[in-house]
Structures are given as C-alpha cells and as structure tokens.
Structure 1
Amino acid sequence: MTECIQQLELKLLHHDWTENPKSLDQLLSADFEEIDTNGIIHSRSEVIQWLLHKNKAIRWSLDNFRIKLLTQDCALAIYTASKHQDSAYIRNESIRSSIWQYQDQQWKMIFHQASSKS
C-alpha cells in the first residue's frame, strides 16, 4: 500500500493533466481540500487549476515516505517533499500529509496539508 500511495502522490505532481483533466476525478475525492504552507485552505477546484497550470519543469522528490493506517479503507501519508529543477534543489523542504480513502475500487486523496520546514 505504501508504494501504491507514494506513486499516486508523485503522479499528481508530475503528470501533465492538461490533456485529460477529468482523469483527476480518479485521484481526488469530490470533497477534497488542501491547506497550503501559508495556512490557506484551497478547494478542490483551486487545486485542480494549480495542477493544470503548474510548472512542468519542476520535479519533486518525496523522502521518508510512510503510511499510517487510520481505518481499513483510510490511510495517512506523511513525507518530506523537495522541489528540483534541472537537477538542482530550488526550494526548502516541506512536510506533507495526505489522507487517502479507498473509494470505488481505487485510492483517492481526500485531504492534503503542506507545512514549511525550518
């Protein structure tokens, strides 16, 4: 399960969603929301807009990725994310947490939060 959810997190960040934005419905729950590093709450539609317009040259690495099972069909992912561009580190690390729920025979993210790492 850990590898599966880690790959889904990377897919959200690295995939080009502009060709088929509706495919995001397979990964983001209908009631998804996010809290960014500034403590601002973003709706599902705001996050989808960010995913559609993100800088495709930026790559992410996810370190210390781990899963805590909350219920049989709900898991908490916790990891450190770092941004890279042209093989160079470009931004401070952030601590991330996501809640994934098994819905309709697939894992969907229902919540995500990023916290600045000092």
Structure 2
Amino acid sequence: MSHDDLSLLDTLRALEVELHHPGVRSSAERLSQLLHPDFHEVGRSGRQYDRETIIRWLADDHEPPKVVPDDFRVAPIAPDAALLTYRSAHRQQDGSLAHHTLRSSLWLKTSQGWQMRYHQGTPATQPW
C-alpha cells in the first residue's frame, strides 16, 4: 500500500469511526457535513434508508451500540472517490461481540471535504 493510500485510509477510517461516536450521532449538523446530500444506505437488515431518515434516526438514538470496527481497507476509485470496507460488531454488556457485519462505504471528496455517499452493512456469516 502506498503512502498516499495509507493517508487516505487513515483519513476515511477516522471519519467512519466518527459516525460511531455518540456525540457525532446526536449532532444533526455534523452528520449533515459527513453525509453527502445524495447519501443512501442499505442496512444489515436489507432495508434502505435515505439521508434524512438516517440523520433523524441517529439523532434520536440516545444509547447507540458500542461499535467495535476492525480490518479497515481502502480502494481508491478516482482522485475524489474511494471505497472503504471493514468489519464491525456490537459490544454487549457482558463484553461479548454480536451483530458481526461486513461494511462498505463510498466516500466522495467534495467542496465540504470527504462525505459518505453510500453505505451498506451485510451480516457476516461467521464471527471474527
């Protein structure tokens, strides 16, 4: 992986993980900066969501799960587009991990900075 790819990976991983943080999730303003105006998501349930629905849901989710992300990878698509993939799980109160998910996010570099254009979560067939 080149130095530029590592830098891109670090940048996008930080932005992606920011979306897991309760303070960011409850800030419609920050979510509006991170999510592209044409944002669309297919959740691990298979349901589709638009930007407004996601911002409203995240802002109302006062006790978000503790997300444990792992194995981040980046695939530059163009100078202003990249695919970020990773695995995640939710840490349960007993410390165990549940809801293992394979995730992918398409990030676009805009005049606002990097913004997530698309996200998909797919249930993992096996835990890590």
Query: Are residue 95 (structure 1) and residue 102 (structure 2) matched?
Result: yes
Three-state SS of the structure 2 residue aligned to 1:91 is strand
CA deviations 1:50-83 (Å, max 9, x no partner) are 2112253522111110000011110000000111
Please report the RMSD computed on the Cα atoms of aligned residues, expressed in angstroms. Answer: 1.7
Q: 1:109 aligns to what?
A: 116
**TM-score, structure 1 as length reference:** 0.89
Residue from 42, 47, 55 that aligns with 1:40:
47
CA distance 1:57–1:27, change in 2 (3 Å): closer
Matches for 1:15-94 after TM superposition, within 5 Å: 15-16=22-23, 17-18=25-26, 20-56=27-63, 58-86=65-93, 88-94=95-101
Paired residue total: 117
Divergent runs of 4+, >3 A: none
Larger Rg: 2
**TM-score, structure 2 as length reference:** 0.82
Report the Cα distance in structure 1 between the residues aligned to 2:67 and 2:45, rounded to whole angstroms. 19
Three-state SS of the structure 2 residue aligned to 1:13 is coil
CA deviations 1:78-108 (Å, max 9, x no partner) are 0001111447134231000000000015110
Report the Cα distance in structure 1 between the residues aligned to 2:121 and 2:104, rounded to whole angstroms. 7
Unaligned runs of 5+ in 1: none
